[in-house]
Structure 1
Amino acid sequence: MEFRTLKANEIECRIATVKSNGISLLLYKDARCDMNILDETVGKLNWKREHSRDNANCTVSIWDDDKGIWVSKEDTGTESFTEKQKGLASDSFKRACFNWGIGRELYTAPFIWIPSDKCEISAKQNGNGSTCYDRFRVSYVGYDKERNIDALKIENEKTGKVVFSLGRNAGNYNPANQEESLKNYVTESQVKTLEICIPKHKQTIANVCRVYNVSGLRELTVEQFKKLMRNMGEE
């Protein structure tokens, strides 16, 4: 089973270090993103999470239709300073989802340095070091065939300006082009139709995704949807 790569609006930016001449950013995903992708790919009733050791450990299990068993992957969370407010439960869950491959492409992110002329850096009140309260968002992300990040665009939410750009595709990014490309993929209504029709014809969504080489029904094109409906006699 292969989960799709993260979309730009599913990737969060966090300030890692602050210096007088600039800041570095880290890319991460939150637990809600993991839950949405699990729901989307395997179905809301086909996965579960269990915590142990006072939430330090999390086991994420996915139902295997072919074998008729739950397949599980586990990991341990840490209560680091930056993640403390989210708790061990959230951190261990996200790490277990990394083991399933959800968001693993974030490990290929480049070093992201934002110079001081593109963000607002001020001295800490105690005079010991610098701080930055700006917020940043990923406006575009692209991947190569090995699912490595090869294009990235990050904007300062306060100014709306691009502060980091990687790859030719990021430089040429146009939201209108992305909107146009989305028209080639199935709509939510078509996804719901498939979710009803596939089980009715004694097929599984997992098998259909394998046949069409996609990680979820939402990655099917309109043409693939029409072909699938014809094959099921649902025209």
Structure 2
Amino acid sequence: MKVEGKIRPLRADEIEIRIARIKKGGYQLLLYKDSRCDKRILDEVFGMMGWKNEYQEIKGNLYCTISVWNNDLKQWISKQDCGTKSNVEKEKGEASDAFKRAATAWGIGRELYTRLFIWVNGGVQPKLNAKKEQIVVSGEPQYELINPFMKWHVGKLEVDEETEKIVGLTVEDDKGIQVYSYGTCAPKGGRKDEFISPSDIEWQMENIDMATVDQIKKIRTGCEFLNIKEASLLKTMKLKKWEEATFQQAEHAIHYLNQKADMKAMEDGA
């Protein structure tokens, strides 16, 4: 039975896939949704005349508010979030991001926060310059896709509506070849990929701003080095565990530990 106003999970064909990063031996893919998907679902659930959105700037940040008409209360119910600028068409990108985040606040695409680490082996080659030498940036050898026009799509998708988590997933390339499987959609007895957050924020999905594995490792190493109890630092930041921290909170913790380490170095050298 359909529940009035209930946001359904995304369908496989509503999820977009893009390259996150390319490394030696393979590449990482990220799942995301676009604002057109959000608008279609809002129309579907609340009707074209049953919702509205507006933007406002607060302290230099662009916020989007999505309001839904509640017929029982006879009033608009609103949820709001802010966006971040993109590298291309910054204002347009910020508005789109704010809309998508506000839509997520209503429940659209929350399963994408499962943060699956989708790694595909192979399909890459060294990235060369005009002299046929491999390009190196900041000490990191660069790689590129052998087929730069490769595209991917979600083949199968299973979502636990209660936990709002993806429990099964397959990804196929544009030739229909399955390149990744997870959970209930993985072969029985085969490898099951774990929930692993990307270790570099620039490659995280635009909807996700959670602390990365690399950040958490830095925090724990810093606490151990400085003899600071993790529980105390977590309590100060009003967190139960680092996996619940946002990227910004983790950066704040790392900055704090770096300052403590600098002070310790000065004291030791005095």
TM-score, normalised with respect to structure 2 = 0.57
Larger radius of gyration between Structure 1 and Structure 2: 2
CA distance in 2, matches of 1:77, 1:136: 26
RMSD of Structure 2 on Structure 1 (CA): 2.4
Say whether the 8 Å CA contact 2:169–2:184 is kept in structure 1: no
Equivalent AA in structure 2 for residue 89 of structure 1: A
> 1:124 deviation in Å?
5.1
Q: 1:59 aligns with which of 31, 46, 65?
A: 65
**SS of the residue aligned with 1:152?**
strand
* Runs of 4+ residues over 3 Å off in structure 1: 80-86, 168-172
Aligned to 1:205: none
Query: 1:100 aligns to what?
Result: 106
CA drift of 1:83 comes to 8.5
Deviation at 1:27, TM superposition (A): 0.6
1:143 is the counterpart of 2:159 = yes
Q: Aligned to 2:85, what secondary structure does the other structure show?
A: coil
**CA distances 1:177-203 after superposition (whole Å, capped 9, x unpaired):** xxxxxxxxxxxxxxxxxxxxxxxxxxx
Letter of the structure 1 residue corresponding to residue 168 of structure 2: A
Q: Flag the structure with more relative contact order, 1 or 2, with Cα contacts below 8 A and sequence separation at least 6.
A: 1
Residue in 1 that maps onto 2:260: none
Residue of 62, 74, 79 corresponding to 2:85:
79
**Deviation (angstroms), 1:125:** 4.1
Return the match for 2:74 from 62, 68, 72.
68
Query: Is residue 172–residue 178 contact of structure 2 (8 Å, CA) maintained in 1?
Result: yes
Structure with the bigger percentage of helix = 1
Q: Match of 2:53, SS?
A: strand
- The offset of 1:21, in angstroms, is 1.0
Whether 2:183 is the aligned partner of 1:167: answer: yes
Q: Does 1:155 align with 2:166?
A: no
Question: Which runs of 5 or more residues in structure 1 are unaligned?
Answer: 173-235
User: In percent, how many aligned pairs have the same letter?
Assistant: 44
Change (3 A) 1:78 1:108: same
Residue 52 of structure 1 contacts residue 58 of structure 1 at CA under 8 Å; is this kept in 2?
A: yes
Partner of 2:12: 8
Q: Which residue of 2 aligns with 1:130?
A: 143
Separation of aligned partners in 1, 2:74 and 2:172: 46
1:208 matched residue in structure 2:
none
Instruction: Count matched residues.
Output: 169
Asked if the contact 1:47–1:60 (Cα under 8 Å) also holds between the matched residues in 2, the reply is: yes
Q: Does 1:50 align with 2:54?
A: yes
Residue 90 (structure 1) aligns with: 96
Which runs of 5 or more structure 2 residues have no equivalent in the other structure?
A: 137-141, 189-270
| Counterpart-to-counterpart distance in 2, 1:93 and 1:70 | 17
